[in-house]
């Protein structure tokens, strides 16, 4: 059995691409997109008509409305391939504006619903800023489920769990990149691989915290640089993986076992994350060390 099929025995596999024709060969349950992936797709001849046809059909509309139409058009095509959910992203420029994020998310969902797609098949991707998390909390109360992305710290994960968001996407690769850059010539790639990878440790710490405290928010590892990072997180709720890495997994017969396993839940819930005046309690810089809350 190849590694991709082995991984599916432990984790829900998600395709991270806008190339819906390519993703079919990997049979993922869900898919994630972002504007960069959609831009990459429309530059291919097979997908360019989706852009030109959508623009032509909405000529005269505001640019941001046309962009949302294109994103949803791709989402609709993806949902013909995957049996589960697609994640569609809110304009990242709204990441520090709660009201604008809520409004844009509602508009995206309305476009899906107008096309006959139920809310259970769509996740709205929102940046894990404080404002984004508050927007997601409001949307979840309305039945619009959210995928909180650009998540680099334990503090962000605690806040998302407290907000009862549907799913978070903690990034592995960008944390790995940061540590590798800081390590410079002293960085030991072999010693910091697999379970020792800083990005892997971050996701594992969040996953274990959620399971220990009975937090229902799904954990979907994201932003992978190599197969080793994926293998080290087998057992995570979901993993969203690029086509290149999915192909590598599919081509390998190396045994793969679950690395993460749920732990029993204690009776008490964890402490809530509160925002102090200003941003004093929020993560400083790009990341916070696993297990650290800035207080």
Rounded Cα–Cα distance for residues 182 and 130 (Å): 27
DSSP state of 264: P
**Cα Rg, the chain, nearest whole Å:** 19
- Identify the residue whose tokens are 């989706």: 50
Query: Using alpha carbons only, what angle is made at residue 232 by residues 162 and 3, rounded to the nearest 5 degrees?
Result: 120
CA-nearest of 168, 100, 99 to 128 is: 168
User: For strand 86-89 and strand 122-127, is the pairing parallel, antiparallel, or unpaired?
Assistant: parallel
Burial 30-40 (b: 16+ CB within 10 A, else e): bbbbbbebbee
Rounded Cα–Cα distance for residues 176 and 182 (Å): 10
Q: Which H helix or E strand runs over 198?
A: helix 198-212
According to DSSP, the residues that pair with 148 across neighbouring strands are 126, 168
Other beta carbons less than 10 A from residue 84's beta carbon: 15
Q: Judge whether 16 and 241 are in contact, CB under 8 Å.
A: yes
> Hey, which residues are catalytic here?
125
Rounded Cα–Cα distance for residues 249 and 259 (Å): 16
């Amino acid at each position: 059995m190849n590694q991709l099929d082995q991984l599916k025995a432990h984790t829900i596999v998600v395709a991270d691409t806008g190339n819906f024709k390519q993703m079919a060969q990997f049979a993922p349950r869900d898919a994630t997109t972002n504007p960069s992936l959609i831009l990459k797709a429309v530059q291919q001849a097979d997908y360019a008509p989706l852009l030109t046809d959508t623009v032509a059909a909405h000529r005269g509309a505001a640019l941001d409305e046309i962009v949302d139409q294109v994103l949803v058009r791709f989402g609709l095509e993806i949902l013909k391939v995957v049996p589960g959910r697609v994640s569609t992203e809110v304009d990242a420029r709204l990441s520090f504006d709660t009201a604008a994020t809520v409004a844009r998310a509602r508009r995206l969902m309305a476009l899906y619903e107008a096309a006959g797609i139920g809310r259970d098949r769509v996740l709205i991707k929102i940046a894990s800023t404080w404002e984004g998390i508050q927007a997601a909390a409001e949307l979840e109360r309305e039945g619009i489920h959210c995928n909180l992305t650009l998540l680099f710290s334990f503090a962000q994960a605690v806040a998302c769990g407290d907000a009862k968001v549907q799913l978070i996407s903690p990034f592995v690769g960008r944390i790995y990149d940061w540590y590798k850059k800081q390590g410079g010539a002293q960085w030991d790639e072999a010693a910091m691989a697999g379970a020792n990878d800083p990005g892997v440790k971050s996701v594992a710490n969040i996953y274990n915290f959620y399971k220990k405290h009975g937090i229902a928010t799904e954990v979907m590892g994201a932003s992978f640089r190599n197969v080793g990072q994926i293998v080290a997180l087998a057992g995570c709720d979901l993993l969203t993986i690029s086509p290149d890495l999915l192909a590598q997994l599919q081509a390998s017969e190396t045994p793969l076992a679950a690395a993460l396993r749920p732990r029993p839940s204690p009776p008490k819930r964890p402490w809530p994350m509160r925002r102090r005046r200003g941003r004093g309690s929020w993560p400083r810089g790009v990341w916070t060390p696993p297990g650290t809350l800035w207080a």
